Amino acid sequence: MILGIECTAHTFGIGIVNDGKILCNVRDNYSTEKGGIIPMDAAKHHREVSEEVYRKALEEARIKEDEIKAIALSNAPGLAPCLNEGLKFAKKKADKLGLKLIPVNHCVAHLEIGRITGARDPVLLYASGANTQIIAYSGGKYRVFGETLDIGIGNFIDNFARIIGLGFPGGPKIMELATKGNYIELPYTIKGMDVAFSGMLTSLKQKYDSIKSDDFLDSSNLKKSKKFEEKDMKKEDLAFSLQETSFAMLVEASERAMAHVGKKELVIGGGVGCNTRLQEMCGIMCKERNAKFFAPSNEFLQDNGGMIAYLGETMFNSGIWKDINEIDINPRERTDDVIVVWR
């Protein structure tokens, strides 16, 4: 039994894995009504819920703590206060139970959990809060073929959600709004396999500012503007167009990577991967080029302890572990910094 702890940002989660089988995946999320993540508050959240999440995880997996063989921890990358809280908790349990710790890179765990879909050698579209990368495994590492040149897709969506007064996380709320919107042209920025979102964010913000003075227009209250055609827009239209434009960029970059490396599978990872429209667009692209698209279920797309335990077990079986006094956090470790000795 390997117990895995997720703590890098908004989620404190614990999963338990035995021989590739995930026995439980319990989590508690930090969220806000308005505004984004405050790292110290998220860390406080983790401190407050950790024992309860641990208790529930053991209960759901129906195991006793002395059956745990080692503890995996997402020690990189992430928000330092949150990582430190997770490290403290992992050390406390490892010390009590006399166990080794397995340092797991959060991003690599998002990718490796894609294996539960049955994909064998895919291109991975990692679309999460802080990260947006197009990745494929080659020669001992997950190589980044394309990525965002500025902010992650999830942070971009959350940022716009915050501007229009929605809380964190904004992704699910924007997805809901988008179902009632129409298309408006927005900046589409893709360079090779790299993408960028800040131009689109500025444009969305300007469009929102131009209409917000006329108390927000909804479908039942369409006002005609004297000055700008744009005043006919609704926030639903902005949400819809944000999704169509930014997701089209991700799908184009993924398709280019698939063509370049000659792979016939695409796996999605990360919290933005829960978006049903993004999944639909990936599915269409794959079908058109005679490839297969795979998506893990939502509980394994968002941050979760199950994916940390899942990769932790594989790493432990390859002899990767540390003593309590050897492990530290690494807030900036990149996906392609990790040497993948277990594949």
Q: Would you count residue 130 as binding ligand ATP (CB under 6 A)?
A: yes
**What minimum distance in Å lies between the beta carbon of 133 and Fe ion?**
12
Pick 236 or 303: Cβ nearer Fe ion: 303
Rg (CA), the chain: 21
Q: Where are the beta strands (DSSP E) in 19-159?
A: 21-29, 70-76, 100-105, 123-127, 132-138, 141-147
Pick 106 or 234: Cβ nearer ligand ATP: 106
Residue whose tokens read 């190589």: 143
Q: β-strand 70-76 against 292-294: which pairing, if any?
A: unpaired
Where does this chain touch Fe ion (CB under 5 A) — which range of 208-216, 250-258, 274-282, 296-304?
A: 296-304
Cα–Cα distance measured from residue 184 to residue 48, given in angstroms and rounded to the nearest whole number: 44
CA angle 7, 9, 13 (to 5 degrees): 35
Helices (H), 62-128: 80-97, 106-112
What does 234 interact with, of ligand ATP, Fe ion, none (CB < 5 to 8 A by kind)? none
Q: Give the one residue of 3, 83, 90, 175 binding ligand ATP; rule: CB under 6 A.
A: 175
Pick 10 or 68: Cβ nearer ligand ATP: 10
- DSSP structure string for 312-326: HHHHHHTT--B-GGG
Q: Would you count residue 303 as binding Fe ion (CB under 5 A)?
A: yes
Q: Give the one residue of 1, 2, 3, 8 binding ligand ATP; rule: CB under 6 A.
A: 8
Q: Give the one residue of 25, 50, 128, 275 binding Fe ion; rule: CB under 5 A.
A: 128
Helix (H), strand (E), coil (C) string for 11-29: EEEEEEEECCEEEEEEEEE
Restricting to residues 152-171, name those near ligand ATP by CB under 6 A: 152, 154, 157-158, 169-171
Q: Would you count residue 75 as binding Fe ion (CB under 5 A)?
A: no
Strand partners, 101: 71, 322
Restricting to residues 32-71, name those near ligand ATP by CB under 6 A: none
Binding site for ligand ATP (CB under 6 A): 8-10, 78, 106, 110, 128-131, 152, 154, 157-158, 169-172, 175, 270-272, 274-275, 302-303
